[in-house]
Amino acid sequence: MSQGCLVRPCFRASSTDPGETKSFLMEYLNVNGLEHFYATQRVLENVSFSINEGERLCLLGPSGCGKTTTLQVLAGFVKPDRGNVEIKGQRVDGMPPEKRNIGIMFQNYALFPHMSVFDNVAFGLRMRGVAKAEISARVMEALTLVRLPHAASKRPSQLSGGEQQRIAFARAVVIRPSLLLLDEPFSNLDARLRLEMRTELLDLLRTLSVATVMVTHDQEEAMAIADRIAVMYRGRIEQIDTPDQIYRNPASLFVGRFIGESNVLPATALPDGRFQVDGVGAITARDTRPSRNATAVQLMIRPEHIELVDAAPGGEEWNSVEGVVERQLFLGHRTEWIVSVGGLKLTVWQSNAHVRRQVGEKVTLRWRSADSIIVGAEHANA
Amino acid sequence: MHKNALTTRGWLLLLVLPVIALGLLYVLPVFNLVRISFAQYDPKLGVIPDYQISNYVALFVDVFYFEVLWRTIRVSLLVTLFCAVLGYPIAVYLIRSSGWRQTGIFIVLLMPLVTSVTVMSYGWLILLGRNGVINTIASGLGLIDVPRQFMYNETAIVVGLVHVLVVFMVISIAASLQSVDQTWVRAARSLGATPGVAFRAITLPLSLPGLRTGALLVFVLSMSAYATPTLLGGTRFKFLSYLVYQQAISLYNWPRGAAMAVMLLIATTALLALVSIYSQIRTIRANRRLREAQADGPAQVGAV
C-alpha cells in the first residue's frame, strides 16, 4: 500500500498559510491553570502544560492524582471549573467533544460491539460526511497500518485483546485527529502482550507523529513511550520533564519515591554545604532545590547507585558509610541487600554480583556525591 | 471433567421435576382445552364428547367475535406502542438516577400491580368520568361546553392497560440499557457524534433486545388482559378474554369458550411468530452480507 495520508507529510499539508512561521513557534497544545472540584474535593490544582507538534506527553501518577480528570478535560467530557485548553492557538474548552477532533483510545477500547471492525473504524469518517469511496480507502489504510486488514468484517468480540487495541488505535487515528489521547493503553493486556504492544504502539506513534497525551500509572510504560513525563500527585503536576531528567533529578520527594526505588533519609543542611544524617554522619550531596531556605530536608539515594565495598575509598566525590548486612536476597539479575546503618536501613542493589555477604557482616557502602540528591521535605508524609 | 461438574445424567435428573410440573400444570390443561373446543354443547346435557369443528365454524361466521378479536389485537398493539414510547425515557431516567429517587420511581411503577383493579378503575373514573376531574377543569376553563365521556371506550382501555403494563417495558429496557457502556457513547462523541446521533447509533440499537422483550411481555399480557378492559371498556367495548369468560362461566358453553380461547392463543402465537421470523430473516441477511463482504475481499466492505 502506498504511503497514505495518515503519516506525517499529509498531516502538515494543510498548514501552508503565511502565518506558518509564527504558529510554528507557538506551542501546539496549551493547557493553562486547570482547576477542578468534585463536590468539595479539589481534583485538579493549577494544572498547566504545553506540548509541541508531534510530541508525546505522558501523565503519570498514582490513582486519584488527577491524570484521568485532566484527560477528560482535554477530551471535553469534563468541564473544568477554571483554566483553558488551546489547540493550535484555538480555545477548545468550550467545545463539546464532537467538535474537538480529538482521537481517543479508551482503556477498555470501547469498540462498538454491534458493528463490524470496518464500521467501527469508519464511524468517525461517516460522522464527518466523508465520501463512501474515500471512507473505504482510509479505513483499509488504517487497518493496514495496524496490520489487521483481514479483520474488517469481523466483530470486535471475535478479536483478541491485542487486536482490539489495534482496532481502537486505528479508529482513533483514522479521523486524522489534532490530538491523540491514550487512556491507560496497556492495562487490559497480559504481561507479555503488554511489552509487545508497547513497542508496536511506539512505532505507530512515531510513524504518525501526532501530538499525544497518554495517561498511565505505570512508570515503565511512561518512560518507554513518552518524550516528556508529567508526574502528577494530589491534583498537581509535581514535575514535568524528560524521562531521563525525572529519574535523575526528581523535583520532589514524591517524584523520587514514585519513579524507581529510593532510599530516603531525613537530613539537616550544615553550614559547610554538607548534610547531616542522624546516625550516619555528614554526607555530600547534590542540592537541586529551587529555594534553599529550609534546613530540614530529605536525602535520596537510589539502591543501584550504592556499592558494597571492602574498604573505604578515598576522594572527594565519594560518600562512604559503615553498616551491617541485615538481609541478602538473590533475585537472579541482581542481588539486593538490606544494610543497617546507624539505625537506618538502606537498600542496595548490585547487578551480576558474585560477591556473597554473611548476615551480620560489617560492610562499607559507597556512592557518588552526585548520586545523593536533596529534595524538599514538604511531602514527607507521601 | 471437573469434579463438581454435572454429568449428562445429572442434568436430565434435574430436568425431571420441571418437566413433570409443566406437563401436569400446563401441557395437560392446554391439551384438555383444545379437546373440549372440538366437543359439542347441549343446554340440557352439558359437554358432549362428540368431536367436530362446528365451534370453530360458528366463530368464523360470527362478525361480532371477529370484531372483538380485532379490537383485542389492535388495542394490544397500541398498548405495546405507548408502553415503548413512554417506557423508554422512563427507563433512561431510571438507570441514571440512584438511591431514593430510583426507589421512588420503582414504587410508582409497581403501584398499579399491587393495587386492586377495581380500586384503580374507580380512580380512573374520578379522573376521566363525566363528572370527573378532567371534565370539571376543562369546562371550568371554558374549553368544553358539555362534559365528555372519556370512560367506557377503547381509549380508556389503552390508558388503563398502559398504566398497569408499562412497568414491564421499563424494567426490560432498563436492564438492557444497563449493559450499554457509557464509554461507547463517549467514544462515539469523540469521533464526531452529537448526543442525539450517539443515541441513535449506539444506545438505541444496543438496547433493542430489552425493547423487544418488553414489547413481547406487554403484548402478551395485554392480549390476555381481563379485568382492566372489562371495567374500563364498559358494556360496549369487550376484550376477547371477556367473551371467553361469558361463554364458559355465564353460559356454561365450555366448548365454545374453549374454541375462543384456542383462537386467542393462536392469534397471539402467530403474531409473535411473525415478529420472530422477521427478525430471524434480518439476522440471516446481515450475516450473508458479512460473509459476501468477506469473500469479495476487504476493499468491497465499504460498499455494503
In a domain, B120, yes or no: yes
Name B186's Cβ contacts closer than 8 Å, sequence gap at least 6. A75, A77, A97, A104, A106, A110
B201–chain A nearest CA distance, Å: 10
The helix/strand/coil state of A375 is strand
pLDDT at B304: 35
B304 in any annotated domain: no
> Nearest CA of chain B to the CA of A53: how many Å?
20
pLDDT (0 to 100) of residue B291: 67
Residue A347: all three cell numbers together: 537498600
DSSP 8-state symbol, B7: P
Cβ distance of A127 and B301 shorter than 8 Å: no
Looking at the domain assignment, is residue B8 inside a domain?
A: no
| CB-CB neighbors (< 8 A) of A121 in chain B | none
Each domain of chain A, given as residue ranges in start order, spans 8-248, 253-375
d(CA A306, CA B216): 73
Yes or no, beta carbons of B181 and A128 under 8 Å apart: no
pLDDT digits (tens, 9 = 90+) for B208-257: 999 999 999 999 999 999 988 988 888 888 899 999 999 999 999 999 99
CB contact under 8 A, B193 and A113: no
Buried b (16+ CB within 10 A) or exposed e, B237-252: bbbbbbbbbebbeeee
A346 Cβ neighbours under 8 A, 6+ residues apart: A263, A301, A303, A306, A323, A338, A339, A340, A365
Direct distance between the N- and C-terminal alpha carbons of chain B, in angstroms, rounded to an integer: 45
**Residue B135: CATH number of its domain:** 1.10.3720.10
Q: Which domain holds residue B152?
A: 77-260
Give the model's pLDDT for residue A80: 94
Residue A361 is placed in which grid cell? Answer: 557482616
Whether the CB of A98 is below 8 Å from some CB of chain B: the reply is yes
Q: Structure pTM?
A: 0.81
Give the one of B190, B197, B301 whose C-beta lies nearest to A152's C-beta. B301
Architecture of domain A253-375 in this structure: Beta Barrel (2.40)
B184: contact with A, CB 8 A cutoff = yes
| Chain B residue whose CA is closest to A77 | B186
Contact flag A113-B206 (C-beta cutoff 8 Å): yes
Q: Is the ipTM of this complex over 0.90?
A: no
Q: Alpha helix locations (H) across chain B? A: 8-22, 28-37, 54-60, 63-96, 99-114, 117-128, 133-140, 154-178, 182-190, 195-198, 204-223, 227-233, 240-245, 254-296
Strand partners, B163: none
Name the amino acid, one letter, at A22: K
Evaluate whether residue B2 is within a structural domain.
no
Closest CA of chain A from B178, distance in Å: 15
Whether B298 has a pLDDT exceeding 80, the answer reads no
**Domain A8-248: which topology?**
Rossmann fold (3.40.50)
Task: Determine the pLDDT at residue A377.
Answer: 62
Establish if B31 belongs to a structural domain.
no
Does any domain span residue B32? no
Contact B39, B49 (CB under 8 A): yes
What is chain B's Cα-based Rg?
25
> Residue A380 has what pLDDT?
40
Tally of CB atoms within 10 A around A207? 14
**Number of independent structural domains in chain B:** 1
Question: Which residue in this structure is represented by grid cell 562499607?
Answer: A364
Q: Please indicate, yes or no, if residue B45 is contained in any of the structural domains.
A: no
Kindly calculate the radius of gyration of chain A based on its CA atoms and give it in whole angstroms.
Answer: 25
The answer to whether the CB atoms of B193 and A98 lie below 8 A apart is: yes
What is chain A's pLDDT, residue by residue, as a tens digit (382 residues)?
Answer: 444 455 544 333 333 444 434 344 458 999 999 999 998 899 999 999 999 999 999 999 999 899 999 999 999 999 999 999 999 989 998 899 999 999 999 999 999 999 999 999 999 999 999 999 999 999 999 999 999 999 999 999 999 999 999 999 999 999 999 999 999 999 888 888 888 899 999 999 999 999 999 999 999 999 999 999 999 999 999 999 999 999 988 988 899 889 988 999 989 888 888 888 888 888 888 887 777 777 888 899 999 999 888 776 667 788 888 899 999 888 888 889 999 998 889 999 988 767 778 888 888 898 998 898 988 765 444 3
End-to-end CA distance of chain A: 52
**B299 — contact with chain A (CB < 8 Å)?**
yes
Q: How many CB atoms lie within 10 A of CB A224?
A: 16
User: In angstroms, rounded to a whole number, what is the distance separating the alpha carbons of residues B113 and B281?
Assistant: 36
pLDDT of residue B5: 66
In a domain, residue B184? The reply is yes
CB A57 within 8 A of CB A51: yes
Do the Cβ atoms of A114 and B189 come within 8 Å? no
